[in-house]
Amino acid sequence: MFGELVSVLDASGIVEPERTGDLSPDQLVDMIGSTHQLESALKARELAAVAGLLKQRTNVEQENPERAYDVIDGYEQTCAEVSAVLNISPTAASYVVHYAEALADRLPRVAALPASGQTDWRTVQLIISRTDLVKDELIGELDERLAARLGKWKSWSRQRIINAIDAAVLAVDTDAAKERRKAFDEERFVSVDPLPCGMAQLYGHVSASDGATVDHTLSALAKGVCANDPRTMDQRRADALAALTQGKTLACQCGNPDCPARGEDAQPPRGAQVVVNVVASEDALAGDSDRPGYLEGYGVIDAEQLRELAAQADAQRIVQLEASAVEALRYQPSAALERAVRCRDLTCRFPGCSRPATHCDIDHTVPFSLRDPENGGWTVPSNLKCLCRKQTRLTTLLVVRTSA
């Protein structure tokens, strides 16, 4: 067994750790990628073995009816064996067995992809967890759809992968998704639990639209103080919630008696107006299709919830992903174009980064030429992308080094 594993490692082109100092940066990056690919392939092999073991243990029960009365059934026995051989807790072992069973029985096409390098274990694990509630008679179609698309998801962030999986689930299992949402909606609640040191913890479940509205409102109130306020954004959001429940504005704590945001003369907020961005197709909004939409700050929502949200809105503004000839020659994109690009990207476009697009810079892929805009990178959708500040600095540094 060990010799077989060594041969696999040798075939992958991975070198011994002590030899890494002889490799160039490009070779080391390739080594990292190939090792990650091999790790996913080995994980798939491990789970296939677990699934095979589970099948044999449960087959014994089916072949011998008397075994059905055993205190320890085949599933529990498999979990115990996996726990022992992997030196993990019984709870952790139960997850491993669950993953193996799901791949073998429900997602066989997805299960075959890590071994061929078409996807990684992180993506497969997300698929398992996000498809657990899909009905058995529909999981085959979903397995086929996801397996056909996984190869295009490389370098995607975790949130973007979740969005794609959720959209596929809604497309295949629309009715069940609606039923589950309504069931969860009936169980919505908010609780306040005491914590030590005079603090309390708020916890609850609300609708996606209400959650997004509260989130936007707290952020808007938290940004209403002056730049000299000593509190962090998180602290201001917490204080804004308390102020909101008391019918007050968030008072600035800069200590300046002349600060316009000190809160003494401010009127209590009356139904704070917030803008919630929703990405949807026109036919879904019109009720002509059940194509899911996307609610900024939350994720994928079904078409029925999408239409309910649109009906509740005081005003709707449809943003087109386009730029005029005049806008294309300006460095700064218009407010409409900026909003459209953020709604298109949803998150930072750097591989693996899930920072929301609302907290990102709008970056030109081909640098904009201030000296000669007509020959430089234009300010058009195809040349704009969302990058968080860290990745913007990183790409700028790489461009400067390359130019040098």
CA nearest to 244, candidates 274, 276, 214, 223: 214
* Residues 44 and 143 reside in one and the same domain: yes
Whether the predicted pLDDT of 51 surpasses 90: yes
* Residues 12 and 159 reside in one and the same domain: yes
Lowest average pLDDT, out of 1-10, 154-163, 191-200, 354-363, goes to 1-10
What's the average model confidence in pLDDT over 68-83?
82
More confident residue, 297 or 354: 354
* Residues 54 and 122 reside in one and the same domain: yes
Whether the predicted pLDDT of 376 surpasses 70: yes
* Residues 334 and 299 reside in one and the same domain: no
* Residues 304 and 344 reside in one and the same domain: no
Last residue of a domain, one of 139, 172, 205: 172
* Residues 157 and 46 reside in one and the same domain: yes
Q: State the alpha helices, DSSP H only, in 64-207.
A: 74-86, 90-105, 108-111, 121-130, 136-149, 158-172, 174-186
> pLDDT class for 70, splitting at 50, 70, 90?
low
Q: How far is CA 163 from CA 283, 293, 302, 347, in A?
A: 20, 10, 12, 11
Residue 93 has which token pair?
């072992």
> pLDDT class for 3, splitting at 50, 70, 90?
very low
More confident residue, 322 or 169: 169
Q: What is the dihedral of CA 246, 235, 232, 234, to 10 degrees?
A: -110
The C-alpha atoms of residue 261 and residue 240 are separated, in whole angstroms, by: 13
Residue 132 has which token pair?
């657990």
Residue 73, SS3? coil
* Residues 285 and 389 reside in one and the same domain: no
**What pLDDT digit, counting tens, does each position of 307-342 carry?**
888 887 776 677 777 888 888 898 999 988 998 898
Lowest average pLDDT, out of 7-11, 253-257, 369-373, goes to 7-11
Average pLDDT, the chain: 83
Number of Cβ within 10 Å of residue 356's Cβ equals 16
* Residues 32 and 107 reside in one and the same domain: yes
* Residues 388 and 287 reside in one and the same domain: no
Phi, psi of 193 (to 5 degrees): -110, 135
* Residues 22 and 143 reside in one and the same domain: yes
Whether the predicted pLDDT of 272 surpasses 70: no
In a domain, 268, yes or no: no
More confident residue, 5 or 111: 111
More confident residue, 351 or 121: 121
> pLDDT class for 121, splitting at 50, 70, 90?
very high
**What pLDDT digit, counting tens, does each position of 225-258 carry?**
888 999 999 999 999 998 888 878 888 998 888 8
In a domain, 70, yes or no: yes
Domain count, the chain: 3
The C-alpha atoms of residue 150 and residue 247 are separated, in whole angstroms, by: 49
Phi, psi of 194 (to 5 degrees): -70, 145
Residue 321 has which token pair?
């992903």
Tell me which DSSP letter residue 382 carries. Answer: G
> pLDDT class for 299, splitting at 50, 70, 90?
confident
The C-alpha atoms of residue 111 and residue 51 are separated, in whole angstroms, by: 11
Provide the pLDDT for residue 352.
Answer: 82
The pLDDT > 90 percentage for the chain reads 30
Range of the domain at 304: 278-312
